[in-house]
Structure 1
């Protein structure tokens, strides 16, 4: 499921190449999405990366016909030229667009619905 040894994913992930704007305070980095789940996002790492690792990020994803997703996350790891973020909360206005985007890219729609159900409990 993952290209990184030792990773234990709890949610279905989809590899999707989309633009992501990563914001923290007054800083903005323009990156590319590598993969996404209801609880996590991986992006490429920009050449200049001077973020505060213990502070929250806002990730703005242009999901095309599904609109703009705005997710709040914390950085979990930096490795092999990529950044891994844990999504802390998906608000109600982002759940349906996220579901629609992921449903086109995951192989198991039942697993995706179970993932969405887990969101309601967190």
Structure 2
């Protein structure tokens, strides 16, 4: 287990959903690899040329009428993947994300611990 994995306090769940990164007028469709209450990991888009000093908006389309929108910051960049941490999420998006994670985390005690950590 790497140091990065040991520091991770939020369980990531694999989830396949249409996802888009936005920054200003730039738009990058990408593949969601996993998501947590605190961030997401996506495939690095082929045409990735972003201003790494600026924040991004991540939009995860759960279905045609439901989406999770987050203001995110790039935390790590690899040749094939990008990791983002959530800076801001509205209550509707948090409700959808919470439900998604809840349905995929078997341990309700772990889910409550994550929620407490997120609030703190």
Residue in 2 that maps onto 1:59: 58
Ranges in structure 1 where 5+ consecutive residues have no aligned partner:
none
Aligned equivalents of 1:66, 1:12: Cα separation in 2: 26
Aligned equivalents of 1:97, 1:37: Cα separation in 2: 12
Q: Give the 3-state SS of the residue equivalent to 1:33 in structure 2.
A: strand
Residue in 2 that maps onto 1:40: 39
Residue in 1 that maps onto 2:15: 16
Cα contact 1:22–1:31 (8 A) shared by 2:
yes
Runs of 4+ in 1 over 3 A off after TM superposition: none
Aligned equivalents of 2:119, 2:90: Cα separation in 1: 10
Aligned equivalents of 1:95, 1:25: Cα separation in 2: 23
Q: How does the TM-score come out when normalised to structure 2?
A: 0.88
Ranges in structure 2 where 5+ consecutive residues have no aligned partner:
none
Deviation at 1:80, TM superposition (A): 4.3
1:36-115 mapped onto 2 (5 Å cutoff): 36-64=35-63, 67-115=66-114
Q: Which moved more, 1:62-71 or 1:80-89?
A: 62-71
Cα contact 1:66–1:97 (8 A) shared by 2:
no
Q: How does the TM-score come out when normalised to structure 1?
A: 0.87
Deviation at 1:30, TM superposition (A): 0.2
Deviation at 1:66, TM superposition (A): 8.1
